[in-house]
Structures are given as structure tokens and as C-alpha cells.
Amino acid sequence: MRRAVIERRTAETDIALTLDLDGRGKSEIATGVGFLDHMLTLLARHGRFDLNVTCRGDTHVDNHHSVEDIGICLGQAFAEALGDKRGIVRYGSCVLPMDETLVLTAVDLSGRACLGWDLPLPTEKIGTFDAELVKEFWLGFVREAKCAFHFRLLAGENSHHIAEGAFKSAARSLRAAVAIDPDFAEEIPSTKGVL
């Protein structure tokens, strides 16, 4: 079973997260950050991951700590659930349209952390959410999941559409990468023999 349970408690956040890579896209999300709840619900649905997240964070300061720490926890959950990555496809990519927006994401579950970011958001805020936190979330994720993840905006004007397109595209890229390749189900997808 490719599942993980992550708990993280700091002076800034208290997070409980469960992930099932082979789920049906069901989620229960309560992070205290409404826009992030929306994005994580989309991530679960489009990735077909079952995801539960609760967070009590110092949102009276701002949303930064909660968003970054949830990205860290989700990255840890992916790393734990994938184990030695035996049999996975490893790579995934998606070009996703959303109205005027077109976002490309590509992921390599390589064991090496790298975020390629060319996803400019034209506004500082998406509602009350600081737009720069979209990148902070994915930085936290990439560092802990130990993957190379590239985000590129091909077209777009609306910050909400760009962020939402990025999460949906990332979910579909991850879904492809974590899938088991039945022809190589007992193999590590690397000539090195480890990932």
C-alpha cells in the first residue's frame, strides 16, 4: 500500500496529513488558508490521490508558515509513500489549459531536488492569498519529495487561473509519474539501480 501519514509540529504550525497514492481523488482539507484548501482539493482530485490535511498555523502573522510547512509535509508524504520507487514510471508531464491560461509542468522523481520556476503571477494577491506563496509551497514540496519539478507559464493573464492551472497540471504530472509500469513493476527506473 502506497500510503503515508505525516505529523509536523513546530512553534508555527501543527499539521496532520495522510496520503494514499492509489486513491480516488477524495480529500478533506482544512489548512486555515482558504485558497490553499482549494488548491489541495484540486491536487487530490486531478492526481487521483486521497489526501487529508489539517493545519493549525500562525495565520495571525500571515499564511507563509502554514503554506510552506504543508508543502514540506506533502513532499515528505510522497517520498514515504513511494518507498524505493520500484516499478514507477518516474516521469510525468502535462500541458493544461484553463480559460486563457496554459501551464506546462514536468516532474522527474529522481531523488534530487530541483524546482524550475517560470510561472509569473501578475498580481501580488489572489483574493487575500499572497501570490508568491504558490512558489513557496512547491519549493517545500520539491525539497522533501526530492524530485525535479518544472513549471512554465505558456499563456495567461489571471493569477487565480495561473495558480489553479499549475496545481491541476502538477497533479496530473505526479499522477503519471507515480503510476506503476506493469512491464517494469519489479525494477527501479534508473540505470544506477537506486533513486
pLDDT in tens, 127-169: 999 999 999 999 999 999 999 999 999 999 999 999 999 999 9
- Mean predicted confidence (pLDDT) in 22-48: 98
- Mean predicted confidence (pLDDT) in 172-189: 95
What distance separates the 2 farthest-apart alpha carbons in the chain?
Answer: 51
Domain boundaries, the chain: 3-184
User: Which pLDDT does position 75 carry in this prediction?
Assistant: 98
Q: What rounded mean pLDDT belongs to the chain?
A: 97
pTM over 0.95: yes
| pLDDT at 185 exceeding the cut of 90 | no
- Mean predicted confidence (pLDDT) in 20-29: 98
What is the rounded distance in angstroms from the CA atom of residue 149 to the CA atom of residue 173?
A: 9
Architecture of domain 3-184 in this structure: 2-Layer Sandwich (3.30)
Element of type H or E holding 91: strand 91-98
Q: Among candidates 85, 66, 101, 117, which has minimal Cα distance to 184?
A: 85
Residue 97 CB contacts under 8 Å (≥ 6 apart), including other chains: 165
Share of the chain above pLDDT 70, in %: 100
57 in Cβ contact with 68 (< 8 Å): no
